[in-house]
Structure 1
């Protein structure tokens, strides 16, 4: 009986070692196969997060670089343009919103017309200037040709 117990213990020990080895091999293989999706994570989530952080830094730098008079003018224009864009008759109709939504294009246009463009409007104007310069240099062929 003692001999049978000893044999069973050795057999169980061997089975545990084999199962541990199989588990390690399986874990390593699964990690290697999941490694293929690391590039998806890096190019997707991480790159998007980095772009958002860069955009926020650029936006903050744009507004922080303004003079005190420009900040005061922006504050006054913001109050005026927000009130204008929030009026019920100026709201944009959108499905699911019976009272409409804030009229962002009107707000952006108002701020631009009053001399304090928003960061987004400023970047749009810069992109238009760059396209016009590239078109003048012949790098971009105009669409109407």
Structure 2
């Protein structure tokens, strides 16, 4: 009788130990699952990293565009920049916007002035390059959106 009682107690102790280790493992796996689900690597890569790298690539391209100009062109750009900024900031050329009683400076006028004077801004130049590519693709018979 004693041996049967000892055997039953042994089995109960083993079951209790197995349940405790199973609970600990389940708790650890649940914690890891919640952590990985909350900060998904794809969310980080597709959101933060890609946006940051796109901005840095754009800034490098813009810097390369302006640094590749000759010294004469850079001098002309400074003169044109000063003239076009003064022109775009004149009170009669300002653009009316809600919340700005005196208006804001005219970005479009500035970019057109720079382009007309022979020193387009990087954004204007990039737009002209895109138009050229689109025209070439249309000439080849491809669809351009």
TM-score strictly above 0.5: yes
User: Partner of 1:79 in structure 2?
Assistant: 82
Superposed CA RMSD = 2.2
1:33 pairs, out of 37, 41, 58, with 37
Shift of 1:31: 2.1
Q: Which consecutive segments of 4 or more residues in structure 1 shift more than 3 A? A: 16-23
Task: For structure 1, list consecutive stretches of 5 or more residues without a partner in the other structure.
Answer: 1-13
How many angstroms apart in 2 are the aligned matches of 1:138 and 1:17? Answer: 68
1:54 pairs, out of 42, 54, 57, with 57
How many angstroms apart in 2 are the aligned matches of 1:89 and 1:20? Answer: 74
Shift of 1:47: 0.7
User: Partner of 1:5 in structure 2?
Assistant: none
Bigger radius of gyration, 1 or 2?
2
Task: Classify 1:140/1:22 alpha carbon distance in 2 versus 1 (closer, same or farther; 3 Å).
Answer: closer
* Number of residue-to-residue matches in the alignment: 127
How many angstroms apart in 2 are the aligned matches of 1:132 and 1:29? Answer: 51
User: Partner of 2:93 in structure 1?
Assistant: 90
Shift of 1:111: 0.1
Secondary structure of 2:118's aligned partner: coil
Shift of 1:24: 2.8
Q: What's the TM-score, normalizing by structure 2?
A: 0.79
